[in-house]
A and B are shown apart, each in its own frame.
Chain A
Amino acid sequence: DAKTTQPPSMDCAEGRAANLPCNHSTISGNEYVYWYRQIHSQGPQYIIHGLKNNETNEMASLIITEDRKSSTLILPHATLRDTAVYYCIVRVDGYGQNFVFGPGTRLSVLP
């Protein structure tokens, strides 16, 4: 089972910030939080990941709470092309690429 919980769906107006929450209350100290997204019929796309500090890249920002039990992915200016299923993943093991994907959040960016 996935170690994360996310809302099944969210809407966001085009041009506004999209804030996608994720709960991972059982996260271990050496586990990273990853975010991927999957646009219809394509392979998942890496967005960002972090351990305990907030992270930012050209796509998004990741805010991790101090206790690391939850995080928020922020898309600062959502566009229609950001409509996708967003997955929050906590690494199951300390080593290896065996990601456990939950059902994710279906984000709809509305014009």
Chain B
Amino acid sequence: KAGVTQTPRYLIKTRGQQVTLSCSPISGHRSVSWYQQTPGQGLQFLFEYFSETQRNKGNFPGRFSGRQFSNSRSEMNVSTLELGDSALYLCASSLGGNDNEQFFGPGTRLTVL
């Protein structure tokens, strides 16, 4: 079974631009979560989507948004990019139940100049 895929793998943007990242979960998984990883803050939860609805949200500003499509694929968008948004953005998928493990993708490395 194919794993979680994320596109693109690397991205360079400038301040003020906006960016959209994509995540394709494992087939059959209905939950997709997004995380941001930086050297200073570590791994931080952004939001989770389950059956096209945002089920949980972390403590990030409204510039960070996401959505999920009917095939469970998910996108996250960051508007008005800041230098501090440079990070590895990780997507994880799971079946969505209470004790299901998450399977992480390889991440998208975003650099904001």
Contact across chains for B106 and A98 when beta carbons are under 8 A apart: no
A-B contact count (CB 8 A): 60
Contact across chains for A43 and B99 when beta carbons are under 8 A apart: no
Complex CA distance for A103 and B107, rounded to whole angstroms: 18
If over half of B's interface residues share one DSSP class (helix, strand or loop), that class is named, otherwise mixed; here it is strand
B70 within 8 A of A: no
Complex CA distance for A94 and B99, rounded to whole angstroms: 9
B8 to chain A, nearest CB (A): 15
If over half of A's interface residues share one DSSP class (helix, strand or loop), that class is named, otherwise mixed; here it is loop
Q: Do A101 and B43 contact each other (CB < 8 Å), given the known contacts A32-B99, A44-B104, A51-B99?
A: yes
Choose one: A32, A42, A97, A103; the contact of B48 (CB below 8 Å).
A97
Complex CA distance for A32 and B4, rounded to whole angstroms: 23
A23 to chain B, nearest CB (A): 18
Interface residues on A, range: 20 to 34
Contacts of A46 in B (CB 8 A): 101-103
On A, residues with C-beta under 8 Å from B are 32, 34, 42-46, 49, 51, 87, 93-104
On B, residues with C-beta under 8 Å from A are 4, 31, 33, 35, 42-45, 48, 50, 55-56, 58, 90, 92, 94, 96, 98-107
